[in-house]
């Protein structure tokens, strides 16, 4: 499986990434794209930005390990993961997962598997910076762990 | 004999440091955690068992107790919140 993992501060272009991946996807019959955006949240104080931190080298290796696990479960042709770090304003894209596979079932499942594991296993830490100048590191969510747990069946 | 410690996420703020050089006489990740917890209440609470998500030794995520060689880079990771 072709696999390209990037952690970057810059934004990304879904269309350009899709075109680039298709060059490595062989005769794949399915391509699933997931893009996550920063939500403004519904807290009392509006969010000015999300600040994301990662562990250079370790984070990329961990994402690659997760992608290889997905490729062992479903026949995949190619995958592309981009995760942004640094300060991100509400509405900005934060994560991209592209999966090319022979058939749609594997592509859908692998994209969801990758997202569940990205949220629970990959070394990223989020801080919420509010418009009033206060900030708070986000705590791990039990709902994400539950979503990840279903893959252990 | 020394190792380099890297702190991430909320640990940077609660411990007030992001990186440090530490004199090291050899030992494991458990030795290191005991040593850091002995620095005081703040450290003991921040690094309490169950709070530390993972340790990384020389860019390898550690599962269980692992040796820390001289000169190692050791990352101390709180629970992750990505995606």
Q: What is the pLDDT of residues A28-57, one digit of tens each?
A: 999 999 999 998 876 678 899 999 999 999
- Summarize the confidence of residues A118-128 as an average pLDDT: 92
Q: Which residues of A touch B10 (CB under 8 A)?
A: 125, 137
Alpha helices (H) along B1-83: 10-15, 29-37, 41-46
| Least confidently predicted of A40-44, B30-34, B63-67 | A40-44
- Summarize the confidence of residues B12-16 as an average pLDDT: 91
Determine contact: A35 vs chain B, CB below 8 A. Answer: no
Task: Give the bridge partners for B22, in sequence order.
Answer: B3
Q: Which helix (H) or strand (E) holds A58?
A: helix A58-73
* Three-class SS state of A118: helix
- Find the residue in A nearest to B13 (Cα): A137
CA distance B24 to chain A (A): 23
C-alpha atoms less than 13 angstroms from C-alpha of A151 in its C-beta half-sphere: 19
| Average of per-residue pLDDT values in chain A | 91
Contacts of residues B43-48 at CB distance under 8 Å and 24 or more positions apart, as own/partner, are B43/B15, B46/B11, B46/B14, B46/B15, B47/B76
- Find the residue in A nearest to B62 (Cα): A58
Q: What angle do CA B14, B20, B24 make, to 5 degrees?
A: 120
Question: Looking up tokens 């252990």, which residue turns up?
Answer: A152
Determine contact: A36 vs chain B, CB below 8 A. Answer: yes
- The answer to whether A124 contacts B83, with C-beta atoms less than 8 Å apart, is yes
State the fold for domain A2-148: Aldehyde Oxidoreductase; domain 3 (3.90.1170)
Determine contact: A37 vs chain B, CB below 8 A. Answer: no
Q: What are the DSSP E strand ranges found in chain A? A: 2-8, 30-37, 47-54, 76-84, 86-88, 93-101, 124-130, 135-137
- Find the residue in B nearest to A144 (Cα): B81
Whether the Cβ atoms of residue A27 and residue A103 lie closer than 8 Å to each other:
no
């Amino acid at each position: 499986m072709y696999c390209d993992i990037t952690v970057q501060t810059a934004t990304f272009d879904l269309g350009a990434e899709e075109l680039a991946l298709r060059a490595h996807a062989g005769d794949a019959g399915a391509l699933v794209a997931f893009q996550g955006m920063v939500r403004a949240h519904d807290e009392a104080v509006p969010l000015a930005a999300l600040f994301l931190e990662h562990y250079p080298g370790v984070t990329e290796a961990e994402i690659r390990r997760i992608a290889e696990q997905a490729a062992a479960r479903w026949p995949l042709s190619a995958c592309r993961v981009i995760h942004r770090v640094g300060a991100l304003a509400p509405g900005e894209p934060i994560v991209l997962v592209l999966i090319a596979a022979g058939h749609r079932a594997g592509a859908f499942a692998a994209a969801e598997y990758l997202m569940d594991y990205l949220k629970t296993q990959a070394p990223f830490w989020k801080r919420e910076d509010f418009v009033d100048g206060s900030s708070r590191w986000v705590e791990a969510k039990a709902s994400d762990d539950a979503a990840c747990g279903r893959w252990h069946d | 004999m020394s190792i380099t410690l890297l702190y991430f996420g909320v640990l940077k703020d609660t411990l007030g440091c992001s990186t440090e050089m530490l004199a090291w006489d050899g030992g494991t990740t458990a030795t290191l955690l005991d040593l850091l917890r002995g620095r005081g209440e703040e450290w003991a609470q921040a690094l309490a068992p169950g709070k530390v998500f993972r340790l990384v030794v020389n860019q390898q995520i550690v599962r269980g107790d692992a040796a820390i060689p001289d000169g190692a880079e050791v990352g101390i990771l709180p629970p992750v919140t990505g995606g």
